[in-house]
Amino acid sequence: MERATVIVAIDGPSGTGKSSTSKAVAAQLGLSYLDTGAQYRAITWWMVSNGIDIEDPSAIAAVAGKPEIVSGTDPSGPTITVDGTDVAGPIRTQEVTSKVSAVSAVPEVRARITELQRSIASGAENGIVVEGRDIGTTVLPDADLKIFLTASPEARAARRSGELKGSDVQATREALLKRDAADSSRKTSPLAKADDAVEVDTSDLTLQQVIECVVTLVEEKRAGK
Ligand SMILES: Nc1ncnc2c1ncn2[C@@H]1O[C@H](COP(=O)(O)OP(=O)(O)O)[C@@H](O)[C@H]1O
Ligand SMILES: Nc1ccn([C@H]2C[C@H](O)[C@@H](COP(=O)(O)OP(=O)(O)O)O2)c(=O)n1
């Protein structure tokens, strides 16, 4: 019997475990995987590399359609290119991280990236896990399953500074909370839990427990289809 495709939306603030959970769930269930944060980072990297004034939303809006962003959706090796250049490394720098909230708040940027995300999701033959900030609320409001991951600022800061060698937990915590506040308060499609999303607090769960929880929820949805 052929299995119906399934679309899973996973949203939440930084460091709650969206990327690691989404990748593992997609790999385990044979689904595609899309990291939408990487796309916003990629367009931010392009703006920075091309000398666009990040403080000027109209300057960003004017060129938002220029870069060609391509996301590879295999969960065992996701890729991201801008105009054919592999930017997987450069999009993770502190500079891009500190500027991505400003760039992703610009409506023209969101319109462009949202359209790209919808086309990738509709082309995923077996279904897809899409992670970000506004997937359940705006990008894919008809997703079969919506998850909203949360965790305490302490847990999130400890996880993030564990990744960045030599970083200070307190400084990481401040930067992370500042970015969350910007992402949650922007006018266009802010970070928010959809009314029909299942909220999972990952503070005291291992990554494996979170993965199992989401896999179970997907399987329940699939069984009920
Ligand atoms: N439940 C968990 N317990 C402990 N560490 C976790 C958990 N979930 C994720 N991590 C770790 O925290 C870091 C951030 O996770 P990530 O998936 O990148 O979060 P997000 O995509 O929400 O920013 C990674 O190093 C990841 O391995
Ligand atoms: N759907 C999305 C995904 C990310 N963004 C923006 C806001 C986030 O601060 C940045 C970076 O997202 P990313 O998921 O890479 O961030 P972290 O993994 O939490 O560091 O992109 C967004 O506006 N909408």
Q: Is the pLDDT of residue 77 over 70?
A: yes
**pLDDT, tens digit, 9 for 90 and up, residues 135-169:** 999 999 999 999 999 999 999 999 988 777 767 88
- What residue ranges do the domains of the chain occupy? 6-217
CA 23 to ligand 1 centroid distance, Å: 11
**pLDDT, tens digit, 9 for 90 and up, residues 57-76:** 999 999 999 999 999 999 99
The stretch 78-104 carries a mean pLDDT of: 97
**pLDDT, tens digit, 9 for 90 and up, residues 114-124:** 999 999 999 99
Q: Which CATH number fits domain 6-217: 2.40.128.280, 3.30.70.2860, 3.90.79.10, 3.40.50.300?
A: 3.40.50.300
Ligand nearest to the CA of 180: 2
1: confidence class by pLDDT, cuts 50, 70, 90: very low
Q: How far is CA 205 from the centre of its chain?
A: 20
CA 221 to ligand 2 centroid distance, Å: 27
CA neighbor of 185 nearest in space, from 102, 67, 70: 102
Q: If you search the block for the tokens 């500190």, which residue do you land on?
A: 98
3: confidence class by pLDDT, cuts 50, 70, 90: low
Q: Which of 130, 139, 183 to mutate to test the pocket of ligand 2 (most atoms within 8 A of CB)?
A: 183
- As a whole number of angstroms, the distance between CA 215 and CA 162 comes to 26
CA 162 to ligand 1 centroid distance, Å: 10
Query: Taking the alpha carbons of 61, 106, 172, 209 in that order, is the dihedral positive or negative?
Result: negative
